[in-house]
Structure 1
């Protein structure tokens, strides 16, 4: 089993501030599919965004991550237990969880080992839901600049795992009988340009670029975007969500 990659500890505060929030309809869909509300496990929880939403619907929520700095950004809740743990090897009992979620993290895992662990800790009939979101979309002219930045400027600095996001997780072997995915969800945010810049600063490719070149690629992009955006304008920023589901 390979050692896990941690690309987010160094920017955990920015990650909490700028990463987008999943829409309420995504959670409503998942909760409608779950058989039992005793325990949920949010794996790769980061700063606990998903775990905190599940807390209102389950007696207990386990939330694990490999980054202590990310976990320190999470909001404490009485029924959420945050712990430092690899996805592929956990301390949980067998047949323990009604719901297992992984949001924007599965591509970092050892798939074979993780899915074996899922099978071990899931109750019969438990729901596994893994999802992520693709490149932000705003409008044709702005999107063209973002695409060039994503593919050409920082493209060479993405980890190889990023290809699974580009493929909407269809490139990840899924060893379970797959349920039909819901109609596509999307994250929709009203953002100023500064918030877009903050979000882009959390990209691991931007961080890798800075470490190798000793320069920040974002100011040039922001300068290009600024006349298209408007100084004080709020614009809708849309992130398309993809999801894979299984009944275990």
Structure 2
């Protein structure tokens, strides 16, 4: 999957919206310790950057060197290029020692993972049994919470963001027209109907988190 981002890593980093601050406040309200967070499939570091303002240290792991090249660089974030299938020995060498991680996050990357293998890695850090028990959502909404990103984007920025999606690139490389240029052109005409060059684009996020002990 790393090769999917060679062509569009820069565009993805420039156009992907950041996550809302309240999302991370909610997540970290469920943790006791804020020493070390592991952001898996960190991409260009949007989640890692937000976590760095809360946690003492953040480790972002990624299989694409191009994604890391354009990732947000901050003093307490360490990025590691890893293989898609890390052994426990590699995990300890590249991420952290056993039982030292306070939070594990995945932002729009879990569909790439070998989940049984990933769960075993997280168990090594947190002694968690999967599927884990979900924690209560915000304002008693249950285990799922909805957060919304708002970003002002111009027309070309929005379409560059669409074209940077790994799913779009995968389909294009396979000759499947997931979202054709004709469809984009229809979006373009609709965008310009009101004569505006920039719009506030809303991106919903649905969150489910689980907790065991003091770790999530």
What's the TM-score, normalizing by structure 1? 0.71
User: What's the CA shift string for 1:88-123, capped at 9, x where partnerless?
Assistant: 53223110111111100111101111011111113x
Which position in structure 1 is the counterpart of 2:45? 48
Mark the CA change 1:208 to 1:102 in structure 2 (over 3 Å): closer, same or farther. Answer: closer
Of 169, 182, 205, the match for 1:241: 205
Q: Which moved more, 1:47-56 or 1:219-228?
A: 219-228
Of 223, 227, 232, the match for 2:189: 227
Q: 1: CA distance between counterparts of 2:14 and 2:48?
A: 17
Q: 1: CA distance between counterparts of 2:174 and 2:77?
A: 38
Q: How does 1:84-103 map to 2 (within 5 A)?
A: 84-86=81-83, 89=86, 90-91=91-92, 92-103=96-107
Which position in structure 1 is the counterpart of 2:164? 202
Secondary structure of 1:225's counterpart equals: helix
**Residue 16 in structure 1 maps to residue 13 in structure 2:** yes
Note the residue ranges of structure 2 that are not aligned, 5 or more in a row.
Answer: 139-144
Q: 2: CA distance between counterparts of 1:179 and 1:114?
A: 20
Mark the CA change 1:106 to 1:212 in structure 2 (over 3 Å): closer, same or farther. Answer: closer
Note the residue ranges of structure 1 that are not aligned, 5 or more in a row.
Answer: 127-173
> How far 1:209 moved relative to its partner?
4.0
Which position in structure 1 is the counterpart of 2:112? 108
Secondary structure of 1:201's counterpart equals: helix
Q: Which moved more, 1:45-54 or 1:208-217?
A: 208-217
